[in-house]
Amino acid sequence: MIRNMIRLSLWGVQSRSREIVGELHRLGVLHLEHGSPRGGEETETLNSLRLLRGKILGLIESLEWDKWNSVTEDYLLEAEKFFSGLPSEDLVPEIDRSLEEFGRRLAALQEEKAQCVDNLGRAKKSRDAIERFGAFFRRSEDGPQSLSIWWIPESSLQKALAEVNAELHKADEAGEGHHFLPGRDSLGILALRVPAS
């Protein structure tokens, strides 16, 4: 009895291929086409295609693309029709050239993206610092004030403020006002307001 058949594409983990094929045989739903043994040229083409597959998967991973469920059977059939019209000896080198060019463009775009992310982070930190110190500088105190900004190790902050207050006390002046913003490598920015002398 001849049955109507369908063409089935199956994607799975390669290490479990025997188990998968065995299960399909057990169910009696698998018909394998056995062709003649592959020649050297065909094996070389297959090896080239495997290398291209690896490059493509690497590029897809770089793009962080994970929409495999959106790849439809119709899309795969259209791609198969497109590639079946090209001679195999031209197909592999052309795909390889195309992938190399795409890889270079992708690497340049990823580098540009990383630079933009870094610049954005720096801009946000700068804006934050300006906003924090802006309010401090706009605040008006009685009498003329002297404002200064210092790079200072965070570990020296309390000692420096104590020395400034001691000098102001000797001069019978009012105390200081300050604002400190911690930074990298234990250095921070100290904004200091003292009475002008």
Residue 22 lies inside a defined structural domain of this protein:
no
Neighbour count for residue 161 (Cβ, 10 Å): 17
pLDDT for the residue 193: 82
Phi, psi for 146 (deg, rounded to 5): -115, 125
Residues 181 and 132 in one domain: no
Name the DSSP class of 155: G
Residues 91 and 180 in one domain: no
Contacts of residue 45, Cβ cutoff 8 Å, sequence gap at least 6: 88, 92
Q: Is the pTM of this model over 0.75?
A: no
Residue 60 lies inside a defined structural domain of this protein:
yes
Domain count, the chain: 2
Residues 63 and 132 in one domain: yes
pLDDT for residue 36 is more than 70: no
pLDDT for the residue 139: 74
Residue 79 lies inside a defined structural domain of this protein:
yes
Residue 23 lies inside a defined structural domain of this protein:
no
Percentage of residues in the chain having pLDDT higher than 90? 7
Contacts of residue 182, Cβ cutoff 8 Å, sequence gap at least 6: 154, 188
Residues 120 and 152 in one domain: no
Percentage of residues in the chain having pLDDT higher than 70? 84
Residues 126 and 87 in one domain: yes
User: How buried is residue 194: exposed, middle or buried, by Cβ count under 10 Å (0-12/13-18/19+)?
Assistant: buried
pLDDT, one tens digit per residue, over 143-162 is 677 888 888 888 988 998 88
pLDDT for the residue 25: 73
pLDDT for the residue 113: 93
Using alpha carbons, select from 90, 192, 91, 82 the residue that is nearest to residue 145.
Answer: 192
Could you tell me the pLDDT band of residue 108, with boundaries at 50, 70 and 90? very high
Residue 25 lies inside a defined structural domain of this protein:
no
Residues 75 and 164 in one domain: no
Residues 151 and 130 in one domain: no
Residue 32 lies inside a defined structural domain of this protein:
no
Looking at residue 154, its amino acid is: E
Residue span of the structural domain in which 168 resides: 142-195
- Return the bridge partners of 146, or none: 194
